[in-house]
């Protein structure tokens, strides 16, 4: 069987309950594209995301409150309640607060309405713009993912893509949204196929995609995933990473996404600190993702 077809079939054999969030808002097109891709792969997905753009909110978590202005892109009217859902699609939920709060409500309030059991996985993004090194500490995309891990012991993946601008859910779907959604579904499927536990305790994955355009990286099949680290290693100070690709020093995410040839970075982080995990935890993820990962060219 062709590898791409096989990868596409894997999630159907391992369908999960997934809470989907972001920091760009519930009506931004990237999260809707990812919803469509994940549900097409057989997963039960519930969106729980901020009512408006909350980029840079980090891990802030405050009770939601009634809206004065409309939701982003006029996706809900002024005066709407503190949280609610799309009239025609109750799986699309907004929370008028921060990304971490949205994740909290998705896990505790919205997910139980649709899931047969607990959420299995939390996915955030794809963020509009990269989340690399120090940006991670301020990223609401990262904040929502790490909330799920720390507070609910739900494994989480945060996805971010360099291309694009904030786009409404009802605009023409950009190429980068489709590509990032498909790539995220493939990585999710590979992790699921590796079996439970999907990630070790306190571990989350931070994934960054490079630019997508009609002339470069326009097809998901063009991409390669590389195990990386979020923060550049400091010589004589930073401990060795897991040994792979002939080295005990993983490339930084920034190096990966800046390498010509459509490379996406996959970093293993600790939710409690938002810092890189140690070589042991990296090794667990390396074994789980296996041949799905590749090496950067010399």
| CATH architecture for segment(s) 3-208 | 3-Layer(aba) Sandwich (3.40)
pLDDT band of residue 165 (cuts 50, 70, 90) is very high
Can you give the pTM of this predicted structure? Answer: 0.95
Q: Provide mean pLDDT across the span 262-269.
A: 98
Is residue 11 pLDDT above 70, yes or no? no
209-229 tens-digit pLDDT:
999 999 999 999 999 999 999
With tokens 């020093």, the residue in question is 249
Separation of alpha carbons 89 and 41, rounded Å: 19
Is residue 171 pLDDT above 70, yes or no? yes
Separation of alpha carbons 296 and 298, rounded Å: 6
So what's the pLDDT on residue 8?
Answer: 40
The average confidence (pLDDT) of the chain is: 95
195-212 tens-digit pLDDT:
999 999 999 999 999 999
36 against 117, higher pLDDT: 36
So what's the pLDDT on residue 14?
Answer: 74
Q: Provide mean pLDDT across the span 45-64.
A: 98
């Amino acid at each position: 069987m062709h590898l791409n077809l096989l990868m596409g079939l894997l999630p159907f054999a391992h369908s999960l309950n997934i809470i989907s969030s972001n920091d760009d808002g519930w009506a931004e097109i990237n999260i809707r594209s990812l919803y469509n891709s994940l549900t097409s792969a057989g997963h039960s997905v519930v969106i729980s995301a901020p009512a408006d753009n909350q980029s840079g909110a980090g891990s802030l978590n405050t009770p939601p409150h009634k809206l004065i202005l409309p939701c982003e892109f006029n996706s809900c009217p002024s005066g709407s309640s503190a949280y609610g859902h799309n009239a025609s699609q109750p799986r699309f939920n907004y929370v008028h607060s921060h990304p971490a709060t949205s994740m909290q409500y998705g896990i505790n309030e919205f997910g139980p309405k649709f899931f047969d059991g607990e959420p299995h996985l939390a996915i955030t993004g794809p963020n509009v713009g990269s989340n690399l090194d120090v940006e991670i500490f301020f990223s609401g995309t990262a904040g929502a993912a790490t909330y799920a891990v720390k507070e609910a012991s739900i494994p989480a993946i945060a996805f971010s893509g360099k291309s694009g601008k904030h786009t409404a859910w009802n605009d023409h779907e950009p190429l980068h949204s489709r590509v990032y959604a498909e790539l995220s579904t493939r990585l999710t499927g590979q992790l699921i196929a590796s079996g439970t536990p999907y990630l070790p305790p306190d571990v989350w994955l931070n994934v960054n995609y490079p630019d997508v355009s009609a002339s470069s990286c326009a097809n998901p099949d063009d991409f390669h995933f590389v195990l990386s680290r979020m923060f550049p290693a400091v010589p004589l100070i930073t401990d060795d990473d897991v040994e792979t690709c002939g080295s005990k020093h993983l490339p930084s995410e920034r190096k990966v996404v800046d390498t010509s040839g459509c490379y996406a970075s996959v970093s293993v982080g600790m939710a409690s600190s938002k810092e890189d995990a140690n070589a042991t935890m990296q090794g667990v993820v390396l074994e789980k993702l296996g041949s799905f990962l590749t090496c950067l060219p010399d």
